Amino acid sequence: MIKRHWGDLFSLPGFKRYFANTSWRLIGNVVRGVIMLVIGVYVVRYLGPNRFGLLSYATSFVALFSAVSTLGLDSIVIRELVKDEAGRNELLGTAFFLKLTGSFFLLAVLYVAIHFTSDDSFTNLLIFIIALSVVFQSFNVIDFYLQAKVLSKYVVYAKTVSLVIWAIVTLFLILVHASLLYFALVSLIESIVLAMGLVIVYFKQKLDIFHWRASIRQALALLKDSWPLMLSGVCILIYMRIDQVMIKQMLGTGAVGQYAAAVKLSEAWNFIPMIICSSLFPSILNAKTQSEEVYRSRLQKLYALMGWMAIAIALPMTFLSGWLVNLLYGGQYNQAASVLIIQTWTGIFTFLGVASSSWLVAENYTKISFFRTFTGMIVNVMLNIILIPRYGINGAAFATLISYAMAVFSIVFIKHTRKQAYMMIISVATLGMYKREGIY
């Protein structure tokens, strides 16, 4: 076995620049996560399991179809911006047009889908209010540009402003005992404010959105690479949100509220792997120009970092779940603690999945990425059908845990990606300090 030093990961070319970018995004998301958690606790307590369950159900119902509006473009656009700065206006204009078209297509799909449910008119109204926020998320293409240029601090500014406005308005709604409808509207307001903030940041960079132009050629090129990612996104959102939709149909909105309250806490950490990978992975790719061995070694360090960060979060959460749920939500959410214990361990597979997904995109294995998420979706839906009637919301939590694990490691069955599965296992088992000769 050959010893590898952790310092290798931090000696990458331009690391200080990428680390500064990571720090901005990490600090911004920590602040955002803390504020959303604190305000979210007040919302959960104020609404109670039934009304919070209904809001969570409407959000999850929209999420099932929202991947259609993103078209899987996010990572593809960032990759192309890194490669070709000169084509910025055409690339951003085309991506914006595609995402805007996708958001209106989402509204049409939802209009058809609600006719196949037994939901009342008020629930359908909540669904459409929440769905409207997707239209304004088309301006997130500006965020992609700033990520590619390692200028995340400006995104943090815009997101912080929109978050503060959301927090103030939400607290006001609680103080005046507002109805559930207004809590759906405030999410729409936040999306509008964030879109305006991103446009202002873009102009501050001496750039102009009115110079954007859409191109059929560019659109076809983007969709050629992104369609497997779009299908992957559909699968991801189905196996992340279908549980709440199925719980509502099988057990009612109160059960959804209990389950969603636990999920809110278990997913509070999920921004960490996304921020680290989005900021560090471009520099890890640069290592590939040095040698494949250095590239693989640094990938293995990244997997170890992801896996052990997740374990460090899951262990204390396992023992503190009951106390934490009672402290934050009160006795009315007494069923959420057991769900949280199970759900918190999905973090290991979430963290590793984000890192390995970055590798799949970088290597253009988008079809394999789709296979992985499709596997997770099928397993999750089948397990929910079996486990929810028998074990209630705990059954849904176990279905999520098992499906996440099977999705992440399903790449072991594919020749081109089998080594990555081994690398994830070895990295977590050895803290990424060693690699065994002959494994890859």
The pLDDT, as a whole number, for residue 2 is: 39
Phi, psi of 113 (to 5 degrees): -65, -40
At residue 305, the pLDDT reads 85
Contact 73, 98 (CB under 8 A): yes
pLDDT at 18: 54
The per-residue pLDDT for 419 is 83
Quote the pLDDT of residue 432: 52
Neighbours of 223 (CB within 10 A): 16
Check: CB of residue 193 under 8 Å from CB of residue 157: no
Please name the amino acid found at residue 135: V
pLDDT tens sequence across 45-62? 999 999 999 999 999 888
Q: How far is CA 338 from CA 49, 310, 323, in A?
A: 16, 19, 11
Q: What is the structure's pLDDT at 344?
A: 92
Q: Quote the tokens at residue 432.
A: 């990424």
Above 60 in pLDDT, residue 303? Answer: yes
The stretches of 205-252 forming alpha helices (DSSP H) are: 216-251
Q: How many CB atoms lie within 10 A of CB 140?
A: 21
How high is the pLDDT of residue 65?
79
Determine which helix (DSSP H) or strand (DSSP E) holds 172, and give its type and residue range: helix 152-175
Region 151-164 average pLDDT: 79
pLDDT of residue 140: 83
Average confidence (pLDDT) over 312-330: 90
Q: Please give the Cα distance from 28 to 26 (Å, whole number).
A: 5
Q: Residue range 168-183: average pLDDT?
A: 93
Residue 3: φ, ψ to 5°: -75, 140
Tell me, what's the pLDDT at 354? 85
258 closest CA partner among 35, 58, 51, 36: 51
State pLDDT tens for residues 69-114.
Answer: 777 777 777 777 767 666 778 888 888 888 888 888 889 988 888 8
Per-residue pLDDT at 67 exceeds 80: no
Judge contact between 354 and 408, C-beta under 8 A: no
Cβ-Cβ contacts under 8 Å for 366 (sequence gap 6 or more)? 72, 225, 226, 228, 229, 232, 360
The string of pLDDT tens digits covering residues 10-36 is 454 444 555 555 566 667 677 777 888
Quick check: helix, strand or coil at residue 438? coil
pLDDT > 70: percent of the chain: 86
Per-residue pLDDT at 12: 47
pLDDT at 150: 62
From first CA to last CA, the distance across the chain in angstroms is 12
Q: How many residues does the chain have?
A: 440
Cα 192–Cα 196–Cα 202 angle in degrees, nearest 5: 145
* Residue 87 CA: distances (Å) to CA of 152, 211, 212, 379, 389: 21, 11, 10, 41, 53
List of long-range contacts for 122-129, beta carbons under 8 Å, 24+ apart: 122/181, 123/54, 123/57, 123/58, 125/181, 126/54, 126/55, 126/58, 126/180, 126/181, 126/184, 127/58, 127/61, 127/62, 129/181, 129/184, 129/185, 129/187, 129/188
Give yes or no for a contact between 188 and 130, defined as CB atoms under 8 angstroms apart: yes
